[in-house]
Amino acid sequence: MSQTSFDASAPMLEQVNAAIAERRQLRIQGGGSKANLGRPVDGELLETREHRGIVTYDPTELVVTVRAGTPLAELERALDAAGQQLACEPPHLGTGATVGGMVAAGLSGPRRPWAGSVRDFVLGTRVITGGGKHLRFGGEVMKNVAGYDLSRLMAGSLGCLGVLTEVSLKVLPKPRAVANLRLAVEVEEALRKLAEWGQQPLPISAACHDGDYLHLRLEGGEGSVAAARDRLGCETVEPGFWEDLKEQRLSFFADPRPLWRLSLPNDTPALDLPGAQLVDWGGAQRWLKSDAPAEEIRAIASRAGGHATCFEACDSPFQPLPAALLRYHRQLKAQLDPQGIFNPGRMYAEV
């Protein structure tokens, strides 16, 4: 149990029910560290930061249950003390990041293609719905699949489906050995090598090309990491690059132009993008700093079989949805938030 534990679910539920009765819209916020993701939202502020604390944590079961307002740093410290981690490496992007914001944003770090996304580690949730009910979905053990999909829907929903109050997460042991490498190689050659290495039993857990170097991280047992390091023959460097990449502290991100994230198939070759780019996730994610029109950037991403998201406050930060998919989004919103009071329009103006 966290020493700063406090259950504030009752006043939050009361605020939601008052908003339903008076037909007022609510703007859900944790630490506000990812407020620039999505469209601006008007509405009465509903803060989750008071609702905090680790509810249960059994390292032997690899499961932790934590309240949504708990600082992400606090959870990570507790896991680290037990030799465990959130394997999806969620970014903080600010000092006030909360566990609820981590799930709502659904952002994952450099390890994501090899370990999984935030959504993959969500086992269960408690949510205040637009019907004024505080409901539990899913469970606290990996074998319990009742309501599992609905819990996963909360990941990346940006608070549009309900007020997340509690989440149960799968955690994993920290690797026994880590090696950070880099190789001076052009991006085309780097992508070719990554495709080749991806077919081999190498303990790669992160891969990024920053324009000059291909950076690699190896994680696993001491023997496998040492053997892979010798085989790849890259220069060994000090740790720190991956944390700076995850938290967007590399010099690349200091460029004042809008930041775009392109999500692409793993085998996508080098792209001629209008601006400065950084290749992450072994090529599946491309960060772009560009002043080019959104239509141009999204057309390039679509032709490559992917989509583009703008990490700046704008009218349409996410790739527009096809009519059929937009209909499903509206139906889901109507089921969980029939009056549309939670973060209205945060993802799409139509939802």
Is 290 domain-assigned? Answer: yes
Is the model's pLDDT at 217 over the cut of 80? Answer: yes
* Phi, psi dihedral angles at 127 (to 5 degrees): -140, 135
The answer on 284 and 271 residing in a single domain is: yes
pLDDT in tens, 308-328: 999 987 889 999 999 999 999
The answer on 153 and 185 residing in a single domain is: no
pLDDT at 139: 67
The answer on 273 and 246 residing in a single domain is: yes
The answer on 239 and 141 residing in a single domain is: no
| Rounded average pLDDT over 184-188 | 97
Is 168 domain-assigned? Answer: yes
Start-to-end CA distance of the chain, whole Å, equals 38
Pairing of strands 44-47, 26-29: parallel
Q: DSSP string covering 183-248, please? A: EE--HHHHHHHHHHHTTS---EEEEEE-SSEEEEEEEE-HHHHHHHHHHH-PEE--TTHHHHHHTT
pLDDT at 149: 72
The answer on 305 and 184 residing in a single domain is: yes
Supply the range of the domain harboring residue 271: 177-310
pLDDT in tens, 227-245: 999 999 899 999 899 999 9
The answer on 144 and 231 residing in a single domain is: no
User: How far apart, in whole angstroms, are the C-alpha atoms of residue 349 and residue 106?
Assistant: 20
pLDDT at 109: 98
- Residue 267 confidence class, pLDDT cut points 50, 70, 90: very high
| Rounded average pLDDT over 84-94 | 97
The answer on 206 and 120 residing in a single domain is: no
Is 86 domain-assigned? Answer: yes
Is 249 domain-assigned? Answer: yes
pLDDT at 319: 94
pLDDT at 148: 41
| Rounded average pLDDT over 243-268 | 97
Give the 3-state DSSP-derived string for 250-294, with helices as H, strands as E and coil as C: CHHHHCCCCEEEEECCCCCCCCCCCCEEEEEHHHCEEEEECCCCH
pLDDT at 314: 84
pLDDT in tens, 91-105: 999 999 999 999 999
User: How far apart, in whole angstroms, are the C-alpha atoms of residue 98 and residue 96?
Assistant: 6
Least confident of 1-10, 208-217, 229-238, 302-311: 1-10
Three-state DSSP class for residue 105: helix
Write the CB contacts of 292 (distance below 8 Å, at least 6 apart in sequence): 274, 275
The answer on 223 and 132 residing in a single domain is: no
pLDDT in tens, 110-163: 999 999 999 999 999 999 999 999 999 986 554 444 444 788 899 999 999 999
pLDDT at 142: 44
User: How far apart, in whole angstroms, are the C-alpha atoms of residue 345 and residue 337?
Assistant: 12
The answer on 155 and 218 residing in a single domain is: no
pLDDT at 25: 98
The answer on 242 and 160 residing in a single domain is: no
Question: How many domains is the chain built from?
Answer: 2
Query: Percentages helix, strand, coil for the chain, rounded to the nearest 5?
Result: 30, 25, 45
| Rounded average pLDDT over 197-222 | 97
pLDDT at 138: 82
Is the model's pLDDT at 22 over the cut of 60? Answer: yes
| Rounded average pLDDT over 336-342 | 96
The answer on 305 and 187 residing in a single domain is: yes
CATH classification of the domain holding 156: 3.30.465.10
Three-state DSSP class for residue 303: helix
What's the whole-model pTM score? 0.94
The answer on 73 and 199 residing in a single domain is: no
